Amino acid sequence: MAAPLLSASDIQTRARQLSSEWSVEGKELKSVWKFKGFVEAIAFVNKMVEPAEAAGHHPDLSISYNKVTVCLSTHDSGGLTHLDFDLAEAISRF
């Protein structure tokens, strides 16, 4: 069973609680992280494995040398759910 979509007001409330790295873009949360180099970028991506697996919720990732773009959306629900914001909070703690 898919997680329920958040209302627009719930999305706004949860978005204000996130660190400034995150923005709501349409039906997803997006964040771009820049690092010293490729090794540091990959280390950051590797830190996402455990919380993503534990939640059964996985980010869409784009890696370009020292830049990692993280997009979160609950695809089977068709937009943003608590799963996206919970994982964004976990990622922000790295």
How do residues 7-56 score in pLDDT, each as one tens digit? 999 999 999 999 899 999 999 999 999 999 999 999 999 999 999 999 99
CATH number at residue 56: 3.30.1360.20
Residues 45, 59: Cα–Cα separation, whole Å: 10
Mean pLDDT confidence for 69-90? 97
Q: What is the pLDDT of residue 2?
A: 84
Q: How many domains does the chain have?
A: 1
Burial class (CB in 10 A: 0-12, 13-18, 19+), 68: buried
Identify whether 71 is part of a domain: yes
- Whole domain around residue 34: which residue ranges? 26-92
Identify whether 63 is part of a domain: yes
Q: What is the pLDDT of residue 52?
A: 97
Q: What is the pLDDT of residue 1?
A: 74
Identify whether 20 is part of a domain: no
Identify whether 12 is part of a domain: no
